Chain A
Amino acid sequence: MTEPIVQVSPAWAVLTPFLLMLLALTAAGLNGALVARTAGRPLRSGLAAPLGEVARLLRQRRQVTVAADVVLWRIGAAGLVVVAILKILVIPLGPWTLADLDVGVVWFNTMDVMTWALFWLIGWGANSAYALVGGYRFLSLAVSYELPLMFALIAPAVAARSLQVGDVVAAQQDLWFVIWMPVAFVIFCGSVIAFSSWGPFATGAGRDIAGGFLADVSGVDRLLILAGRYAVLTAGAAFAVPVFLGGGGGPLLPEWLWTIVKTFLVLAVFVAIRHRVPTIRPDRFAEVAWIIVLPAALLQVLVVAIIVVGS
């Protein structure tokens, strides 16, 4: 079956950001293709859209606003990509991982909590009404999804009796976790979409507030924020693979290829959801999250705990 996770030398850390951004680029291409299809153009013309966007943003100058909090603004803009790279340190590519921390699952959760700070800083730094509203909208959504996410991450950790990602993969030898913890998987996927401020949870960057926290950023900052969004989405999709989808397990292909294939499939679903589902309003979502989703997550953890103690 799957080989045990082995930690490779840190020199490989130089290549991991490239792999991450390559996957993020394919996600952006897929998004562009779907946008092209809704507009009535052929799919192929949309696939190259991210390259055009990158070129455009590299040529664009920076927007300057009055009394902007520049330090915080730049930290927020640059932080998203950094957070995504830190996240994938614990994600194994097949049998290899850069840092098999004892608390890998919690590390992932910590890194995605950084987005709370980062999106708010982006909204705050611009000193603009719409940007601030966008930042606050993200925070109100974050308060709703965070506890369900934490409990959804506890479920596989309880089943594997460890917080180490390697152990979680090893515990899925017989049966992938997605099969007997579907509620946790769905909550996890929803939370990944939410902390990337993507798709149905993208009210912070909504069109009704002229782009929200994206309203006043241009040039390199905008590129970092948009790339960071895709990178965080990709990192979240990649984390779903070892924790719920059995890591590199599967017939025929080598493990690292399976990891990439599974990551891409999950990522494709995330990107497609944006085009199928309208945006969710944070004030409406709060009640649903606390009254329906959180008890569901708790019940899921209870069920897992009973099964684990019983076996």
Chain B
Amino acid sequence: MLIDILFWALAVVAVASGVTVFVVDSMARATYALAVSFIAVGIMLVIVGLEYIGIITILMMVMEMAIMAVYMVMYMGMNPALMPMDMTHSKRWSAVLAVGTFVLLAAGALLIPWPARVGEPAADLTASLGEAIMGPNMLAMLTISPVLFATIIAGLVIANPRGRYDRWGDDLKRRTPNDPMRGGLGR
């Protein structure tokens, strides 16, 4: 009973802070309202029994929001943080789309005849969930993540307007790199 109340309270908090993201005037507040929403979702996952995933969600999302606050303030141009602003575009169509998706998913959740539970939940929910999702493709999943990481790094390197020749001179023979700010190792 208590768990149910907690679950519903967290659900309300998650949706309310999600709405707050678009209502507040300050980018910093929007970012941290989003963080609160994610924390509520993480706690809900912990309640459901997926402790590891829930806590990792909280960890990752708070870290992301901290970095996102930096980027938001940096990229929001003339109006970083303090003035009334409206972040929504094409209000009518996005409202239609959002309500439609919600109705579709809610109808699916309520109307599909879900099978009855057979047996008991596994002792280690996280492990069994992992095996159920990834199953025989575990090796592919394990290799995908370093490949994704390498892709991100490669994209950054390619997008960097300054290359080796800007830093080390045309013959790559300069003793110290020509950087606007000196790095810690002088590489």
- A touches B in complex, CB < 8 A: yes
Residues of A within 8 A of B59 (CB): 106, 109-110, 113
Residues of B within 8 A of A124 (CB): 28, 69
Residues of B within 8 A of A285 (CB): 184
Cα distance, A292 to B184, chains bound together (Å): 11
Chain A contact residue count (CB 8 A cutoff): 33
CB pair B55–A106 under 8 Å, yes or no, is yes
Residues of B within 8 A of A72 (CB): 28-29, 32
| Closest A residue to B65 using CB positions | A117
Residues of A within 8 A of B29 (CB): 69, 71-72
| Closest B residue to A107 using CB positions | B55
Judged by a CB distance under 8 angstroms, whether A101 is at the interface is: yes
State which of A67, A117, A120 has its C-beta within 8 Å of the C-beta of B82.
A67
Judged by a CB distance under 8 angstroms, whether A3 is at the interface is: no
Cα distance, A286 to B29, chains bound together (Å): 28
CB pair A106–B52 under 8 Å, yes or no, is yes
Chain B contact residue count (CB 8 A cutoff): 26
Residues of chain A from 260 to 298 with CB closer than 8 A to chain B in the complex = 283-288, 291-292
Residues of B within 8 A of A82 (CB): none
Judged by a CB distance under 8 angstroms, whether B58 is at the interface is: yes
Judged by a CB distance under 8 angstroms, whether B63 is at the interface is: yes
CB pair B28–A139 under 8 Å, yes or no, is no
Cα distance, A203 to B126, chains bound together (Å): 40
Binary flags per residue of B29-59, CB closer than 8 Å to A gives 1, else 0: 1001001000000000000000110011011
Chain A residues with CB under 8 Å of chain B are 67, 69, 71-72, 75, 101-103, 106-107, 109-110, 113-114, 116-117, 120-121, 124, 136, 139, 142-143, 146, 163, 283-288, 291-292
Chain B residues with CB under 8 Å of chain A are 26, 28-29, 32, 35, 51-52, 55-56, 58-59, 62-63, 65-67, 69-70, 81-82, 181-185, 187
Closest CB pairs A-B (n = 4): A284-B184, A287-B184, A110-B59, A116-B66
